[in-house]
Structure 1
Amino acid sequence: MSLPPLHGVVPILVTPFHEDGRIDEESLANLVEFNIRAGVHGLGVALGSEIFKFTEAERAQVTKCVIKAANKRVPIVINTGAAGTDLAVAYSKAAEAAGADMLMVIPPSFMPVSPDEIFDYYVALDRAVNIPIILQDVPQAPISPGLALRIADACKTVRYIKVETLPVTGKVAAMSSLAGDRLTIFGGAGGSYFIEEMRRGALGTMPFCSQPADFVAVWDAFQKGDEVTARRHFDQTIMAINRLGAQSGDIFYALHKRFLKRRGIIRTAVVRGPTMAIDPISDREIEELLSLSVPQAQSFQMLA
């Protein structure tokens, strides 16, 4: 099967911060390198990167840093969705000018909008840029299979959709059935349903960036038709971390950042506020999981 330009494992990068809250560009570049060496098929900057907590200057800073560190070795996806059409267009133009390969765009979600308004929003973006757009279907701003197909048929740049509306597996199946020959489907939600999504027509996932080699191993095994190995590896290396990360609030930020800090990839596990306080039991569970999951001998450890 011929795969589209973007497929496979496309992790969403966390944003490393210094203790004082400034963006740690060296850690971010190190994180990009860590993922590329693991064999990922692309990288993204999106909601999992805490972009909704960035200033305009920081959005440009992170985009520039990631694109420079990747150095065209893998496609870079930048999330440019916004509450207003003009703002989303501005973000999208800026990302394209900075060298992004693709955009991922969530529909407006601050105020309720109709399917026709969502359609017009994507048409405006399609007219403003020349690089591929990934639709982002999320619970707070769902995109039905019918609307996704309507948008794709009207917009030359819309070629992908990331499906995250629950139940994810059912939504992936419905999207694949109606729009699978027009849109490449990606799973999201941390990659928790990666195997189930691939069985139903997804050609990739966008998980967190703390376990890239494990996700690539699952992808490789599945592509070879070895679903037993794919399932075994997923359950042994990924499931427990995703399960804990989905436990409550935004605990997943702290979990994945601690994982990366423990491995020496980033300097701190700082999460920008507001962020949920981690209770003592959850804190102990995170540490127990990290002690079992993080290898003792590190083959990639560049930061002190």
Structure 2
Amino acid sequence: MSKQIRGVLPVILMPYADTGELDEEDFLSQADHIFDSGCDGLVVGQMSELLRLTHAERLRVAELCAKSVQGRGISVMSTGAETAEAAVEYSRHAEAAGVDALLVMHPATLPLDDDGMVEYYSRIVESVTIPIIVHHAKSLAKIPLSIDAQARLLRQYGEDRVMFKPEAQPTPPRVSQLRDATDGRARIFEGDGGMMLLDCHRRGLAGTIPATETAEIVGTLWRLLESGDRENAERIGYPLSYLMCHMMNSTDYYLSIAKRFLKERGIVKNTLVRGPSRHVLDEESWSEVDRLYTHLLTLSKELSR
């Protein structure tokens, strides 16, 4: 492994032109913002509307993911699919495009048991040479991915090949369970937008995967926690949790807010979310989250000095 996969790795929010096509310029703009904020890398993940992209778009986005880093950090591409065959194809293409690691979600329509999950992930690990992050998406798993299944994957392939993003509620104790089941070897990434980062960090994390709009906020929080400054970390962590409570009501609700944040800051040109979503953000909700977001940006700037 040529790069260490760790730290703050925000997810790119898929930008679209007015025509509805991918906006590659705004993709690269988000990458610049992420690295200018001091983050360690970027991710194309489920919050990137991955499942709403065409096959050709997914291939192109993997290429953009690798291209956008330009030697500044880590690139991680999501390559999960409904079959191992499709996931292997996406994974091999992403590796060939030059990404540093893969974020792999399990099938969302098939109720795989532990043996089925281990077989699915094993086929993907063995098809590439770069690390994979096993992504357990709590809202999409028909059968939860057990701690035992995750530990089996780590024992079989090692901590440099298999890492984990265990989005399964309650998240903090799941982090501890995975840590303990692997004798502390598991490299775990928090994936709730920083909502539970204050608690999860002390249980042992390799990093956190927020999204572009909170890159500098979560980046500051992570650095405070890494330095042991719990007092100032709480000043950011608690209001950030409240913001995430607003945003995480659904994927489309999150995107409607996050993309408006990015547009207001000039990082992207519009707030388009690909259908069939028709969610419209009401102004009362916007006024509350915008006030809180502005406070967090100001605070993160203050605490980064």
Equivalent residue for 2:271? 269
1:257-291 CA deviation, whole Å, 9 max, x = no partner? Answer: 000000000000100012142363xx421144225
Q: Are residues 1:208 and 2:211 paired?
A: yes
Q: 1:212 offset after TM fit, Å?
A: 0.9
Note if 1:199 corresponds to 2:202.
Answer: yes
Distance 1:120 1:248 in 2: 30
Aligned to 1:25: 24
What is the match of residue 300 of structure 1? none
In 1, the alpha carbon distance for the partners of 2:251 and 2:121 equals: 30
Note the aligned Cα RMSD (angstroms): 2.0
2:178 paired with 1:179:
no
- What is the count of residue pairs matched by the alignment? 291
Alpha-carbon shift at residue 201 of structure 1 (Å): 1.5
2 CA distance for matches of 1:253 and 1:147?
A: 32
Distance in 2 of aligned mates of 1:190 and 1:260 = 16
Q: In the TM superposition, what is the alpha-carbon distance from 1:198 to its structure 2 partner?
A: 0.5
Q: Residues 36 and 180 (structure 1 numbering): CA distance in 2 closer, same or farther, change over 3 Å? A: farther
Match of 1:234 in 2: 237
Tell me which residue corresponds to 1:112.
Answer: 111
How far did residue 101 of structure 1 move?
A: 0.3
Post-superposition CA distance 1:48-69 (Å, at most 9, x none): 1001011111112222223212
Taking the TM superposition and a 5 Å limit, the aligned residue runs for 1:94-109 are 94-109=93-108
- Code of the residue aligned with 2:168 in structure 1: it is T
Which residue identity lines up with residue 49 of structure 2 in the other structure?
E
Cα deviations by residue, 1:64-122 (Å, 9 ceiling, x for unpaired): 22321211211111111111010010010000000010001112221111211111111
Gapped runs of 5+ residues in structure 2? Answer: 299-305
CA distance, structure 1, for counterparts of residue 269 and residue 294 of structure 2: 16
**SS state at 1:202 partner:** coil
Q: Is the partner of 2:163 in helix, strand or coil?
A: strand
Change (3 A) 1:109 1:289: closer
Q: Distance in 1 between matches of 2:183 and 2:66?
A: 29
The alpha carbon displacement at 1:24 in A equals: 0.8
Percent of aligned positions with the same letter in both sequences?
30
Whether contact under 8 Å (2:153, 2:162) holds in the other structure is: no
2:288 aligned with 1:284, yes or no? no
What secondary structure does 1:104 align onto?
strand
Distance in 1 between residues matched to 2:250 and 2:53, nearest whole Å? 23
Is residue 104–residue 136 contact of structure 1 (8 Å, CA) maintained in 2?
Answer: yes
Residue 12 of structure 1 is matched in structure 2 by 11
Deviation track 1:14-61 (CA, whole Å, cap 9, x = no partner) reads 011112211111111010000101011121001010010111111122
**TM-score w.r.t. structure 1 length?**
0.90
Q: 2:135–2:165: 8 Å Cα contact kept in structure 1?
A: yes
- Other-structure match for 1:79: 78
Distance in 2 between residues matched to 1:216 and 1:101, nearest whole Å: 20
> Does the CA contact (< 8 Å) of 2:65 and 2:76 recur in 1?
no
For 2:24 and 2:44, how far apart are their aligned partners in 1?
A: 14
In the other structure, the counterpart of 1:138 is: 137
Name the SS of the counterpart of 2:261 in structure 1: helix
Unmatched 5+ stretches in structure 1? 298-304
Per the normalisation by structure 2, the TM-score is: 0.90
- Residue aligned with 1:34, SS: helix
Which of 243, 250, 253 is the equivalent residue of 1:251?
A: 253
